Amino acid sequence: MPPDRVLSQDEIDSVFRNLRDSAGDDDPAKKALPYDFRRPDRIAKDQLRAIHVLHENFARSLASSLSAYLRAYAVVNLVSVEQLSFIEFSQCLPSPSCIVSLGLKPYDGNALLEINPALIFPILEMLLGGSGKTSTKLTREVTEIEQSILEGFLRIILNDLRNSWQQVTNMQFAIEAFETEPQLLKILAPNEAVVAISMEVRLGDSSGMMNLGIPSIIIKMLRQKFDQQWSVRKSEATEEEHERLFKLIKPSNFRADARLNGPMLRVEDLLGIEEGQILAFDYPVENPLDFWINGRLKFRGKVVTTGRKRAFHIDDTWVPHE
């Protein structure tokens, strides 16, 4: 441009406009990301991974316990472990549902256990002698009588949960209250963070979700114990430790049962049995018997005679399902 040329007003305005736009692009305020202070970012990712592994072990243990308790093949899969606010967690729960408030002794606070209606009503039918194969899906509330029937089932869940947490801390899970509507839960502040653990439970043709919510503040308090637990797991037990443990358990006793597991019978039919009637079990003589140790199926075989005593001959071709 020639040095003696005079700029027009439009050209001057264009220069200042370009300078203003380029300065705005470098403004650090435009690069900032919005942050929600209600977001529950309280637990480190490595601790969340530890909780994930802990509840994977709980899922495997629970599947075995439910199979034995309900006499039906059960599969439990861990779906997710994430941090949510309590209001987000409660809004994800179906309504109505079976919701249990759990005490966490010796720690202050409550956890939440929710079992979907799609799962709870087939379980109730199994506990009452049915097959659990319902053609219609019930969405009503659980009655007080049904809550009493479910207490044994819930004790199985809480016992396995306590055993899984035993490797981190001695936490006692106890039933404190039943609820059916998530909106009525007042055990935590809406914005308080919880660790939400979701599991899918399949029982035959029925399946449903089971959700567990534990206050994040309790998980955060146990950070040091989680670190100690993982540091212990990294070191393998020596041969001397194996021998010491064997000496400790060698004098212990266990309960052994040989069971003839026949078909299921409804309570109505059982009450209708009269003297002189014949009850057919339809169990072939050549079928093997189940051998249980401390309530767990370990072997199969048959009862034999050795001298003047009865004995159990173990079939070495059968492998138990872990």
177-219 pLDDT, tens digit each: 888 887 777 777 888 888 999 999 998 888 889 999 998 888 8
243 within some domain: no
Average pLDDT over residues 289-315: 83
For the ranges 74-83, 92-101, 131-140, 284-293, which has the lowest average pLDDT? 131-140
Q: How many domains does the chain have?
A: 2
Residue 168's Cβ-count burial label (10 Å; 0-12, 13-18, 19+) is middle
With 0.75 as the threshold, say if the pTM is over it.
no
Residue 7: the pLDDT is 65
pLDDT number for residue 254: 79
Integer Rg of the chain from CA:
30
Cβ-contact 192, 118 below 8 angstroms: no
Question: Residue 215's domain spans which residues?
Answer: 45-235
Which one, of 209, 161, 194, 189, lies nearest residue 81 by Cα? 194
SS3 24: helix
- Tell me which amino acid residue 58 is: F
Distances (CA, A) of 91 to 111, 213, 222, 287, 299: 16, 12, 27, 51, 46
Place of tokens 């004790």: 155
Residues 74 and 192 in one domain: yes
CATH number at residue 112: 3.40.1550.10
Residue 123 in domain: yes
- Calpha distance 158→171 (Å, rounded): 10
Pure H helices in 71-200 = 86-91, 117-127, 144-165
In a domain, 247, yes or no: no
Q: Are residues 310 and 199 in the same domain?
A: no
Residue 19 to residues 3, 9, 28, 204, Cα–Cα distance (Å): 22, 16, 17, 71
Residue 232 binned pLDDT confidence (cut-offs 50, 70, 90): very low
pLDDT surpasses 70 at 17: yes
